[in-house]
Amino acid sequence: MADVLPDIPDASPNLNGLKIMHLPLLRVVSGALASLLLTGTADAVADDPLRPVPTGKTALVDNPIYKTGELEPQNCPEPPVRHVGSAKGAESYLAAILKCLDKSWTRQFAKAGLHFSTPKLKIVTRSGVDDGCGEFPEGAQAVYCGEDKTIVVLLDKAALDDADSLFLFQVIAHEYGHHVQEYTGISHAFFYWKHPTTKAFRADQRRYELQADCLSGAFIGSVRHSLDRSKEDFAYLRLLGTDSSTHGKAKNQAYWLTRGFQGKGPGACNTFAATSRVS
């Protein structure tokens, strides 16, 4: 795929006066990583697969999910967040978007011939509380817990104040990307790859996180026609990243989000085979 952007405005500091929020970085605790941290062992990647879940390098660079084409278009109108600043309203909003994600990715896994189950959603309102994989980490907006296949979202003041943008939409789509990685064998292959150094691990961790950005973009692009949003709303998402040793440079986060948005499918998101834009 060519290194180009879709027909949305380039990210700019003001976006025609649209207020820009500086929000916490997204983080992930995958099934393999959670098991390593908490128990020293790993759970199975998927139960009773329709075909063998790929392993090792094949899972990372030649995964069958990459060959499934675009996500099938579906209508996913956003329900109104009745009261911006309300955790209850934002939770209902996220639950509705989760149903759309479930429908899209269930179809995609069927095309890949891989077993799939939909994730659960859990809401927390502050860091430090038990989220099912331990304490919800400080500085995170959301985590994916592979142990119990749950997306955990922090609905703090920053997120609730920005609930009328596409921010929460992208948050849950990104964490769903980690759920996709879990069931395709990508998570297991990444976390059990024999990285010779911490530096090498971090390099692949950035590929892992950038892939989740791309998968979120693919979903958003596939339902874009049903969203009552302006180009500026989509462009806003490209401004939310911050440079990170674990998640990559902000410009690369924006690139992979946009690449997925344009490609509308996981085939655009093979960050493990990419030779650039993964730092």
Q: Give the pLDDT band of residue 105 (cuts 50, 70, 90).
A: very high
- The region that residue 20 occupies, defined by phi over 0 for left and psi between -120 and 50 for alpha, beta otherwise, is beta
- The region that residue 43 occupies, defined by phi over 0 for left and psi between -120 and 50 for alpha, beta otherwise, is beta
pLDDT at 278: 98
Output 162 or 179, whichever has higher pLDDT.
179
Give yes or no for residue 4 having a pLDDT over 50.
no
CA–CA separation, 176 and 144 (whole Å): 8
Identity at 56, one-letter amino acid code: G
Of 64-73, 97-106, 133-142, 199-208, which gets the smallest average pLDDT?
Answer: 133-142
CA–CA separation, 66 and 69 (whole Å): 7
Choose among 234, 109, 112, 245: nearest CA to 179.
109
Return the structure tokens found at 135. 């304490």
Each residue of 195-209: pLDDT tens digit? Answer: 999 999 999 999 999
- Give long-range contacts, CB 8 A cutoff, 24+ apart: 131-137: 133/29, 133/34, 133/38, 134/29, 134/34, 134/37, 134/38, 137/27
Q: Give the pLDDT band of residue 238 (cuts 50, 70, 90).
A: very high
Regarding beta strands 142-145 and 150-154, do their DSSP bridges make them parallel or antiparallel, or are they unpaired?
antiparallel
**What's the rounded mean pLDDT across residues 231-254?**
95
pLDDT at 35: 37
Biggest alpha carbon–alpha carbon distance for the chain: 51
Q: What is the pTM of this model?
A: 0.86
Each residue of 126-152: pLDDT tens digit? Answer: 999 888 888 999 989 999 999 999 999
Return the structure tokens found at 227. 């969203």
Each residue of 18-50: pLDDT tens digit? Answer: 233 333 444 455 444 443 333 332 333 444 447
Q: Give the pLDDT band of residue 81 (cuts 50, 70, 90).
A: confident
Q: How many residues does the chain have?
A: 279
**What's the rounded mean pLDDT across residues 227-255?**
95
| Residue 122 per-residue DSSP state | E
Output 225 or 18, whichever has higher pLDDT.
225
For residues 161-198, b (16+ Cβ closer than 10 Å) or e, as one string? ebbebbbbbbbbbbbbbbbbbbbbbbbbbbbeeeeeee
pLDDT above 70 coverage of the chain, percent: 81
Q: Give the pLDDT band of residue 84 (cuts 50, 70, 90).
A: low
> What stretches of the chain adopt beta strand conformation (E)?
120-124, 142-145, 150-154
For residues 46-66, b (16+ Cβ closer than 10 Å) or e, as one string? beebeeebbeeeebbbebbbb
Which residues, 6 or more positions from 17, have their beta carbon under 8 angstroms from its beta carbon?
none
Chain centroid to CA 206: 13
pLDDT at 177: 98
pLDDT at 42: 34
pLDDT at 32: 43
The per-residue pLDDT of the chain, averaged, comes to 85
pLDDT at 44: 36
Angle at 92 between CA 111 and CA 32, to 5 degrees: 50
β-sheet with 142-145: strand ranges across: 120-124, 150-154, 142-145
pLDDT at 7: 42
**What's the rounded mean pLDDT across residues 80-86?**
71
Each residue of 154-174: pLDDT tens digit? Answer: 999 999 989 889 999 999 999
Of 15-29, 183-197, 252-266, which gets the smallest average pLDDT?
Answer: 15-29
